[in-house]
Structure 1
């Protein structure tokens, strides 16, 4: 039987770390690690008080299945320079396999980013942050005066890049909205999702509809709908696709595009994961 994603229902797999080095700069902790992953390996993270940023530095994975509280789940292989941004208090569980993987884990105490909320990201490519991480790696083993100066300067640049590009400022108290989605807001969100199903829908766009910060919106949405915004939208897209498969002559590719999937393969994979069969098989079975 194939191993499933960890859900606190089995022991975590053993991590085989071939090498690691750690450093600290500007209130952040960085861990550079090389890990052997030639068998199925759990990558799980959760930290109540620190934001976690993962930057993929090297290595090719054969498979990576991810389950997130706040974003797309499923297969998603990282490229060099891709980032996963996990806000404090959020969970991320992945099951990976390959040969070896090199990555940098950046742990950022919440207070380091000031009065801001970190916005989650999945497989987000950021060449500039990747470059800063590599420059820090180059001086991680040095303790001379120049290395300390470089570490401090690059670390501050990294902190500012994360603050500028991956955080948002909570609304002022006069604009503040309770962290609850009332009936009218829930209806407005559902209507917006139905009308925009064929478009790219971001967490920021949905949070604006509710007049909330992204962090508050994610929590309020889960409380109201008992699922994440992404999973809710995915369910709606699959339900719409099932209706179109049964009641129209549109091709599977056309239907995938109509309900917001970027590629036919993405549509087929998501549909099979949700329904248990491919879109074509579903159309022929009913």
Structure 2
């Protein structure tokens, strides 16, 4: 006869294994944000179905895999826009977005202003005109 604690231990081991796989997905997104990534490919990489990965990722991190990926891309885009050597469109493609329109919409939602306005604000701050970080 099985002891109840064995079932709990098995459940806990499964939970820890899932968390390790989710961390691998998150780490891969952090490393490869500029590459074409989709939930199906990320799920295959950790031997989960796309649905299972989506549900578990949301439970663990409070948002979707896609939202996490886009947040990393926009975070990197903001850093690139702070510099002045790439156009907004070049930044869009450099961070792995394939549509400047979608990039601009997502950037605006996450940062609070369009990428072009962020770039202008960065130039103002970079020139020391107002001394405040954009946002």
Give yes or no for TM over 0.5. yes
**Of 243, 249, 259, the match for 2:79:** 243
- CA spacing shift, 1:178–1:204, aligned 2, 3 Å: farther
Aligned to 1:194: 30
Aligned to 2:18: 181
Q: Greater Rg, structure 1 or structure 2?
A: 1
Higher helix proportion: 2
Displacement of 1:248:
5.1
| CA RMSD of superposed structures (Å) | 2.1
Aligned to 2:112: 276
Aligned to 1:205: 41
Aligned residues: 109
Higher strand proportion: 1
- Provide the rounded CA distance (Å) in 1 between the counterparts of 2:94 and 2:87: 10
- CA spacing shift, 1:248–1:189, aligned 2, 3 Å: farther
Aligned to 1:111: none
- Provide the rounded CA distance (Å) in 2 between the counterparts of 1:203 and 1:219: 11
Displacement of 1:267:
1.4
* TM-score, scaled to structure 1: 0.35
* TM-score, scaled to structure 2: 0.70
Can you give the 5+ residue segments of structure 1 that lack an aligned partner in the other structure? 1-176
Contact 1:181/1:224 (8 A) holds in 2: no
- RCO higher in structure (CA 8 A, sep ≥6): 2
